[in-house]
Amino acid sequence: MGVHALRIFGWSLAITAIGVAGAGVIGSPRDAAIVAILAVLEISLSFDNAVINATILRRMNPFWQKLFLTLGVVIAVFGMRLLFPIIIVALTAHLGPIKVFDLALNDSAQYAEKLGDAHPAIAAFGGIFLFMLFLDFLFDTERDVQWIKKLEEPLRRAGQLDVIPTVIGLVALLVVGEAFSGDHTQQVLTAGVAGLATYLGVRGLGEFFESRGVGADADEDEDADDDAAAEGAGKTAAPRSSGQPKLVLATGRAAAFLFLYLEVIDASFSFDGVVGAFAISQNIFVIATGLGIGAMYIRSLTVYLVRRGTLSEYIYLEHGAHYAIGALAIILAISIETEVPEIVTGLVGVAFIGLALVSSIRHRRRHADADADADSTGSTRGDGGEGGQGQPREAVGAPL
C-alpha cells in the first residue's frame, strides 16, 4: 500500500485493530470474530455505495471531504448503526426510546424481533430513496457518457420532462404498497412517501444552492492560486483538457446540503444491513462495531476514488453503481414480504460493478490504441522537414 493510500486508509486500519481487539477483550474471541465478519460483509455489500458517494464528494472542497471522514463517520457509526434503529423501533412499535434502548441492552432477542417488524417501513423508505437516485441518473439530460446506449439515450431525451422520475417513483410506490406489501400497505405507503419527500427535499435544496453559483467563486480563486503558484515556481500552468469541463466545487450551504444528502444515502444503504446483522449477532454493540468498521472503509474508499480520479479513468463505474442501486431498490421492495439472502444483494451489486469496470478498461484500451495509431501516423507524415532531416513531432491536444 502506497503512502497516499495509507494516509487515507490509516484511520480505518487503526479503528479495525481497536474494534476487533476491544470486542475480544470486553466480550470474547467469538465477539471479535463476529465484528470482523460483519465488517467484511458491510464492505463487500457497499462498494456501490462508495462509488455513488465519490460522484458527490468530488463536487465538494477538501474541507467537506475531511468532514465526511470525521463527523460523517460518527454519524454513520453511532447515528445510523446504533441510534437510528432504536428510533425506528420506537416509532413503529409505539414505544419510548428509553424502553427500546433497555430492550436492546437486556432483551436483544425481543429488540431484534421488533426491528424485524419494522423492516417493511425501513425497506419502503430506503427503497424509494435509492430508486429515485437511480431514476434521476437514467433521466439526466446532461449526462454525455452512456454505457448501454440503446436504453440510456431514449431515457436521457425523455428526461427533458423534469417530472418523469417523480411520477415513475410514485407509481412504483403505489404498486409496491398495493400488490407486494401484504398486510403492511399503510406502513409501506407512509414510509415510502417519507422517503420520497426526503429525497426531493434534500436533493432539491442542494441543487438550488449550487444553481446560485455557491462555490464557483471559491473554485475560481483556487484556480488563480494554482496559476500564481505555478508562475512563482517558474512553470506554466497546465492547460485544461478541452474534453473535460472544469468541475465546480460546492462550498457553504450547497456543500452542507450535499453532505446531508450523502448521509441520507448512507442511511438508505445501511438500514437493511443492520436488520440482517441480527442473523449473525444480537448484541447491538458488536453489530455497531462491525458495521461501523465497514462504514469507515467505505468512506476511506470513497475519498480514495476521489483523490485518484478513478471515476474519470473508469468512466462506466458510475453507471454500474447506479444500476446496482436500482437492483437494490427492487430487492428491498421484494424483501417486504419475501426474505432475500444478503449474498444475493451483494452478488448483484458486485456483478454490475464488475461489468462496468470491464467495460471501462476495454474503453480505455480502445482509445489508447486509437491515440497511438493517430500519433504514429502524424509522426510519419511529419518526418523529412527542411534539409530532409526528420524532426520529432510534439503531440498537442491528444484526446484521452
**CA angle (88 as vertex; 301, 329 as ends), nearest 5:** 50
Question: Residue 37 to residues 33, 138, 227, 344, 349: CA-CA distances in angstroms?
Answer: 6, 35, 48, 17, 19
Nearest to 133 by CA among 190, 53, 215, 236: 53
| Backbone angles phi and psi of 250, in degrees to 5 | -80, 140
pLDDT band at 168 (very low <50, low <70, confident <90, very high): very high
Higher pLDDT, 177 or 396: 177
What tens digit of pLDDT does each residue of 271-316 get?
667 766 776 777 778 888 888 888 888 888 888 888 887 878 888 8
Task: Give the chain's mean pLDDT.
Answer: 76
Are 345 and 272 within 8 A, CB to CB? yes
pTM of the model: 0.73
Residue with cell 436483544: 108
| Residue 376 cell numbers, joined | 504514429
CA distance 293 to 288: 8
Q: What is the pLDDT of residue 250?
A: 63
Q: What is the pLDDT of residue 4?
A: 64
Q: What is the pLDDT of residue 222?
A: 43
pLDDT surpassing 70 at residue 358: yes
**CA angle (27 as vertex; 26, 28 as ends), nearest 5:** 125
Q: What is the pLDDT of residue 193?
A: 92
Which residues face 60 on adjacent strands? Answer: 250
pLDDT surpassing 60 at residue 343: yes
Nearest to 220 by CA among 249, 259, 200: 249
Are 23 and 35 within 8 A, CB to CB? yes
pLDDT surpassing 50 at residue 98: yes
pLDDT band at 383 (very low <50, low <70, confident <90, very high): low
Q: Is 227 exposed, middle or buried (0-12, 13-18, 19+ CB in 10 A)?
A: middle
What tens digit of pLDDT does each residue of 204-250 get?
777 776 666 544 444 444 444 444 444 444 443 434 433 344 455 66
CA distance 233 to 255: 32
CA distance 348 to 5: 28
pLDDT surpassing 70 at residue 396: no
| Residue 6 cell numbers, joined | 495509507
Among the ranges given (1-15, 73-87, 97-111, 234-248), the one the predictor scored with the smallest mean pLDDT: 234-248
pLDDT band at 170 (very low <50, low <70, confident <90, very high): very high
Identity (one letter) of the amino acid at 369? D
Compute CA 120 distance to the chain's CA centroid, rounded to the nearest angstrom: 23
CA distance 245 to 165: 26
Four-CA torsion 132, 138, 143, 149, nearest 10 degrees: 170
Among the ranges given (142-151, 192-201, 343-352), the one the predictor scored with the smallest mean pLDDT: 343-352
Question: Residue 322 to residues 139, 281, 318: CA-CA distances in angstroms?
Answer: 12, 30, 6
Q: What is the pLDDT of residue 41?
A: 78
What tens digit of pLDDT does each residue of 19-45 get?
889 888 888 888 888 888 888 877 777
pLDDT surpassing 90 at residue 171: yes
Q: What is the pLDDT of residue 253?
A: 72
